[in-house]
Structure 1
């Protein structure tokens, strides 16, 4: 049990670091190019900005799910990368079909992966909400 908690804590910490770096890069991009959002056709620029922001945040999620997949491979829970990645995505998104499960020895790690996904998706949601407030709110005089 303790090894699962240790591995899970390292994985959660790593994924949060990755996602915060991804968000920081995006925030810095908008800080440097804020004039672009405030000039020209409002709807087109803010729509493009939100689409690109979501896609950029998905890059972080992708890196994080691959990290979990490699953990599942390293502990020899799945026979190949496709199966490990499928389980990692299913678990990280809290979808959890149940067609694949971890052994009794590693099942806590699967739950920690789901908790991690909730944290990362929550961070992304908060970030996107703040971005919307700042870009659309500025135009509306908020």
Structure 2
């Protein structure tokens, strides 16, 4: 159990770092181009900002699920990458169909993947809400 908790904590730390870097790059990008796009129609600019942001955050989620999938392969839990990726996505998004299960030896690690997904999605949600407020303004969101 201790090995699962330590490995899970290491992977969670790694994926949080990845997601925070993704968020930081996005925030830096918008801070740099904020004035460059101010000539574009406001609604087009706002829509573009949100679409680009969501797609960029999905990239971070994709990287994180691949980190989990590769971990599952590395520990020998799944025999092929397709199964590992499927389980990682299902677990990370907390969907958890239950059609593929981890062995008793590693099942805590699978649960930690779901905990990690909740944290990452929470970070993304907070970022998007703040981005919407800064893009549209507080009064426009009421």
Q: State how far apart, in whole Å, the 2-side matches of 1:17 and 1:139 are.
A: 33
How far apart are 1:40 and its partner, in Å?
A: 2.6
Q: State how far apart, in whole Å, the 2-side matches of 1:84 and 1:40 are.
A: 44
How far apart are 1:35 and its partner, in Å?
A: 1.3
What SS does the corresponding residue of 1:97 show, helix, strand or coil? coil
Q: State how far apart, in whole Å, the 2-side matches of 1:139 and 1:57 are.
A: 25
Higher helix share: 1
How far apart are 1:37 and its partner, in Å?
A: 4.6
Uncovered stretches (5+) of structure 2, i.e. residues with no partner: none
Aligned position for 2:137: 137
Question: Aligned pair 1:6/2:6, yes or no?
Answer: yes
CA-atom RMSD in angstroms: 1.3
What SS does the corresponding residue of 1:63 show, helix, strand or coil? helix
How far apart are 1:65 and its partner, in Å?
A: 0.2
C-alpha distance after superposition, 1:29-71 (max 9, x if no partner): 0111111453331111110110010000111100000000001
Q: TM-score, normalised by structure 1?
A: 0.95
Q: State how far apart, in whole Å, the 1-side matches of 2:43 and 2:100 are.
A: 44
Q: TM-score, normalised by structure 2?
A: 0.95
